[in-house]
Amino acid sequence: MAKFTVCVPGLLTTVQDRGRMGYAASGFSPSGVMDRRAFSLGNLLVGNAANAPAIEFAFAGPTLEFENDAVVAITGADFNPRLDEERAPMYQAFVVRAGQRLSMPAAERGVYGYLAIANGGVDVPRVMGSASTNLKCGLGGFEGRRFAFGDVVNYHDTTPNPYYDFGPNHYRNDPFYHFEYLTQEIRVVPGPQSDLFTSRGIDTFYKERYQVSAQTDRMGCRLDGPQIESSRGSDIISDGIALGSIQIPAQGTPIVMLADRQTTGGYAKIATVASVDIPLLVQRATKQYVQFKPVSVIEAQRLLVAERDYYRNVRANARGRLTLEMPCIEPNDHAGEPTMPPVE
């Protein structure tokens, strides 16, 4: 069995896949990756199955020393990855030789990064059908916890498997995420309890922009900004919470529920983030802004189908150089000016 040693664990490094589905009724959150786009492209780059477990890291990533050769790909936020002392590529499959160290220091732009390893990824047991780490329950992933100094982690031997080649930096992250912009538009489907808010409250939600709070985590994205006025308070009888549900608690500012969300909640939900825009939201760093734009359920479904077709096209053409753009980023609207020049 191939393995690597964790020399530096990073701030929040865990094993994740798409999540633990079907157990919400028993109180288990799905967990899973925060940025499904980056996760999916990483597995595509190394030729894995779509749900092969990958390593997710946030804010400051790990340093890993490989005891065996591996074919890997790094996607998501820009962590300025290094292979020994040299810059390692992003959005490109490459080889890590036995004895080399792969490091992902502090994120220069964005929040979450992903390391996919060919031939099936990290070798961890499935718990309730998933390799995802549930930190609160201490289950799944690597011993149910984040990586720590000195951990030795197994991965599937990669030597027999030729890896996919998309060409150097062909799937750069910044054209999709628009890291250089201070404010990112996020599309949402109104409801299910938008009728509990006044017309002024609804106008505030869609016309104002909200800043990502330092209290944001894998459970939810907390936003700071103008209060959203309700008609009779925002408490409701607890009901189920979907990925991207936007709760408005008593203080009147939004919380977008994410991968480690609770399964039920008693705050009214003014809208739900369209699935294709979840990656844009979770890669917003603290002090950056989002602005919500309403779309219909039909439009959100159309975007999701377009994204699915994109991934199918990528996989079908995996050994060639593609020039596809992600369809889910159109229209490309931003409020305000860039905070830094675009990366060339």
Q: What is the pLDDT of residues 3-53, one digit of tens each?
A: 999 999 999 999 999 999 999 889 899 999 999 999 999 998 888 999 999
Looking at residue 173, its pLDDT comes to: 59
pLDDT surpasses 90 at 75: yes
Does the pLDDT at position 259 exceed 50? yes
Parallel/antiparallel/unpaired status of strands 86-87 and 82-83: antiparallel
Q: CA–CA separation, 96 vs 98, rounded Å?
A: 7
- Amino acid 15: pLDDT: 98
Q: Give the CA angle between residues 106, 244, 258 to the nearest 5°.
A: 45
Q: Per residue in 155-203, pLDDT tens?
A: 986 654 555 554 444 445 557 888 889 999 999 999 999 999 999 999 9
- Given this model, what pLDDT does residue 325 score? 37
pLDDT of residue 180: 86
User: Two tokens at 173?
Assistant: 């992250």
Q: What is the pLDDT of residue 340?
A: 34
Report pLDDT for 343: 32
**What are the C-alpha distances in Å from 279 to residues 152, 173, 271?**
30, 11, 17
Average pLDDT over the chain reads 88
pLDDT mean over 260-282 = 96
Q: How confident is the model over 290-340, as pLDDT tens digits?
A: 999 999 999 999 999 999 998 888 777 654 333 333 333 343 444 444 333
pLDDT, position 165 = 52
What is the pLDDT, as a whole number, of residue 174?
57
With cut-offs at 50, 70 and 90, classify the pLDDT of residue 227: very high
Residue environment code for 30-40, b if the CB has 16+ CB neighbours within 10 A, otherwise e:
bbbbbbbbbbb
In the predicted structure, residue 57 carries a pLDDT above the cut 70: yes
Q: Which of 99, 151, 81, 149 is nearest to 122 (CA)?
A: 151
Give the percent of the chain with pLDDT over 90: 74
The predicted pLDDT at position 338 comes to: 39
pLDDT at residue 232 in the model:
87
Predicted confidence at residue 317, as pLDDT, reads 67
What percentage of the chain has pLDDT greater than the value 70? 87
